Structure 1
Amino acid sequence: MNISTITLYGIPNCDTVKKARAWLSERGAPVQFHDFKKQGVPAERLPAWMAAVGWEKLLNRQGTTWRKLDPAVQARAQDAASAAALMVEHASVIKRPVVEWGDGAVTVGFDADAWNERLAGASK
């Protein structure tokens, strides 16, 4: 496989992150894992992620962490800048996993079919 290292951002005990890591490992993809809980959210990467997928997609309003936030805190997420500040403060509100592919692309969430296409394209 001719693909540069993939960086997968997430939380180790998240089921979707576990699935994604196992899936990539089974395919021998070179993966570097960034643990939001231990290493924090890389604030300098957020603008690139939001440019690639949109802040609305990156901010997980369906998750438990979001639902547990005070409504006043939730209301702070009005635009990219305020959402980014909230994501740095509460890493678990970021939809996971965030993946930076070796070609510079960014994806959010786990989609085996799309990832298969991506890895197949990278090996050509």
Structure 2
Amino acid sequence: MSKPKLTVYYYPKCGTCRKALKWLQENGYELDLHDLFEQSPDKDTVAEWVSLSGLPVKKFFNTSGEVYKELKLKDKLPTLSDEEQIELLASNGRLVKRPVVTDGKTATVGFKEEEFSRVWPGAKV
């Protein structure tokens, strides 16, 4: 059975992203890569990630990033609607926690090997 092609939103210089890409490639996935810093995702894309992942929008924010801190989002996010948070994520790819991996049916954010083994099957543990 062939594995689905995965779309990965990432930043090439991010160590976590590199680990995730290596893991996915070693487990036989073909990847369609999108550099978040070169091109921010649009609102529909971000909304789809949220919907497919089942996670709250706030889980998609890179809380340790410079832009997050500069915009003082720690204090602002709780006051924003989901729609406003999605617009914010779509406005700047640097705000997105990475990598975001999707096959169009589900989505994961960040990289934890245990979660990847569960969500992206056929993996060696």
Q: Contact 2:10 / 2:98 at 8 angstroms: preserved in 1?
A: yes
Tell me the distance in 1 between the aligned counterparts of 2:16 and 2:47. 23
Q: What SS does the corresponding residue of 1:107 show, helix, strand or coil?
A: strand
How far 1:63 moved relative to its partner? 2.6
Tell me the distance in 2 between the aligned counterparts of 1:93 and 1:32. 21
How far 1:42 moved relative to its partner? 3.0
Tell me the distance in 2 between the aligned counterparts of 1:16 and 1:98. 11
4+ residue runs of structure 1 moved beyond 6 angstroms? none
**What amino acid is the match of 1:93?**
L
How far 1:4 moved relative to its partner? 1.1
Q: Contact 1:50 / 1:80 at 8 angstroms: preserved in 2?
A: no
- Give structure 2 stretches of 5+ with no counterpart: none
Identity, % of aligned positions? 28
Q: Contact 1:99 / 1:108 at 8 angstroms: preserved in 2?
A: yes
CA RMSD of aligned residues (A): 2.5
- Give structure 1 stretches of 5+ with no counterpart: none
Q: Give the alignment's TM-score, normalised by structure 1.
A: 0.80
Q: Give the alignment's TM-score, normalised by structure 2.
A: 0.80
